[in-house]
Amino acid sequence: MNWLEQFFASGGWEPLLASLLLVLAAAVIGWLLARIGISLSNRLAKRQQAANLGELINPLRRPALVLIPLLAQLPIAPWLMLPEPLWLLSIHLYRFLLIATIIWLLMNIIRGLRDLVLKRYDISDSDNLKARAMHTQIKVLAKIAMLVSGIFGLAILLMTFDAVRQIGVSLLASAGVVGIIAGFAAQRSLATLFAGIQLAFTQPIRVDDVVVVEGEWGRIEEITLTYVVVKIWDERRLIVPISHFLEKSFQNWTRVSAEVLGTVYLYTDYRVDVEAVRNQLLKILKQSELWDGRVAGLQVTDSSEKTMSLRALMSAADSSKAWNLRCLIREQLIGFLQENYPESLPHLRAELEISSRQTLPGG
């Protein structure tokens, strides 16, 4: 007869049932206290119009509904009447649930603080240099904090199991070679992790930066600890290892400012009226909301035996506006030449020589 049969045979089910009811009552009371605390916090945030407080409380709601009922079990622990094996099992289960809930709460605190800080910096503004820098740093640091918290939490959970703890101790004591191999295997992962930390602080790129990587133009959509997601102009996503931005060259069009210069090249005949084209360029720019008014000009930048090259230079507040402005200028200048100076469009010239000995038709 095992201990459980002996326990019930001796009439121990009555104190066991009483203990279970006591645990259930404490859990219900703790749950009600958690609900009351959350409700009072939400009302206080609304009454004082403290939206930040409400946003910080929301991620903590679910973990609190589990953590407080668990903490409510501590005062009643001395009154529980359980057999020793069941008591030891319940203590182990309680520790496991308590540690897991604290890890869950810590993860949500990190997420809440991250969202609370990022809300103060809007990257949709035109002048968003500081906002993009903060988004990059805070997101990377939050991921590092959650990763470290998860690793330590998992280690603590595993240490609650004696079998796993003994296996770990024996491996460390008798299999040092395994540790060396693991160190070499993790070397690249650690290098990637430190590359992510270095990128967060040196910031060669930021979230929403406009970059040209691997010949593709796009915006930085997400920065993780191991890779960067670039949203290309045609809605594709380019996944780039984070080490690429520390080891290889790339173009960052918004490193210091979002303002960029755009160019349009026209190839015309030598008979074109350059001054008229220049005046038309200024007229189009002044009528367009895409031009920011900083730079405008037209120059003859090259010539060949067939055509000469006109370069129209213009400025815009960001790369998207610059692209649309370039397309607008190209279309309207070509239309202007077609309508007013058709003879200035590129021509192919040839000379025809007729020999004096050749008899012309009818001659």
Distance from C-alpha of 352 to C-alpha of 317, rounded to nearest angstrom: 52
**What are the residues facing 311 on neighbouring strands?**
265, 299
50 CB burial (10 A radius; 0-12, 13-18, 19+): middle
Distance from C-alpha of 101 to C-alpha of 62, rounded to nearest angstrom: 10
The DSSP code sequence of 194-217 is HHHHHHHHH-SS-TT-EEEETTEE
For residue 115 the two structure tokens come to 């969202």
Q: With the C-alpha atoms ordered 217, 218, 220, 221, is the resulting torsion angle positive or negative?
A: negative
Structural domains in the chain plus CATH codes: 9-120 (no CATH), 127-256 (2.30.30.60), 260-344 (3.30.70.100)
* DSSP three-state, residue 290: coil
Q: Where are the beta strands (DSSP E) in 199-307?
A: 210-213, 216-223, 227-232, 237-241, 251-252, 260-268, 291-303
Distance from C-alpha of 31 to C-alpha of 12, rounded to nearest angstrom: 29
pLDDT of residue 313: 93
pLDDT of residue 169: 46
pLDDT of residue 247: 84
Dmax (CA) for the chain in angstroms is 140
Burial track 113-129 (b if 16+ CB lie within 10 A, e otherwise): ebebbbeeeebeeeebb
**Cβ contact 68:33 at 8 Å:** yes
Query: Nearest CA to 280 among 260, 296, 269, 294?
Result: 296
Q: Which helix (H) or strand (E) holds 35?
A: helix 13-47
DSSP state of 359: P
List the Cα angle 306/308/310 in 5-degree steps.
Answer: 155
pLDDT of residue 111: 86
- Please list the rounded mean pLDDT of every run of 10 residues in the chain (363 residues): 50 64 81 82 66 67 84 76 71 83 88 82 71 79 83 75 56 44 54 74 84 90 87 90 87 81 91 92 93 92 89 90 92 93 78 58 53
- The residue behind tokens 């796009």 is 218
**Cβ contact 125:131 at 8 Å:** yes
189 CB burial (10 A radius; 0-12, 13-18, 19+): exposed
Task: Tell me the one-letter amino acid at 286.
Answer: K
List the Cα angle 287/292/293 in 5-degree steps.
Answer: 75
Sorted by sequence, the CB contacts under 8 Å of residue 107 that are 6+ apart come out as: 146, 149, 150
Distance from C-alpha of 194 to C-alpha of 46, rounded to nearest angstrom: 42
For residue 180 the two structure tokens come to 């060396």
Query: Nearest CA to 189 among 149, 153, 225?
Result: 225
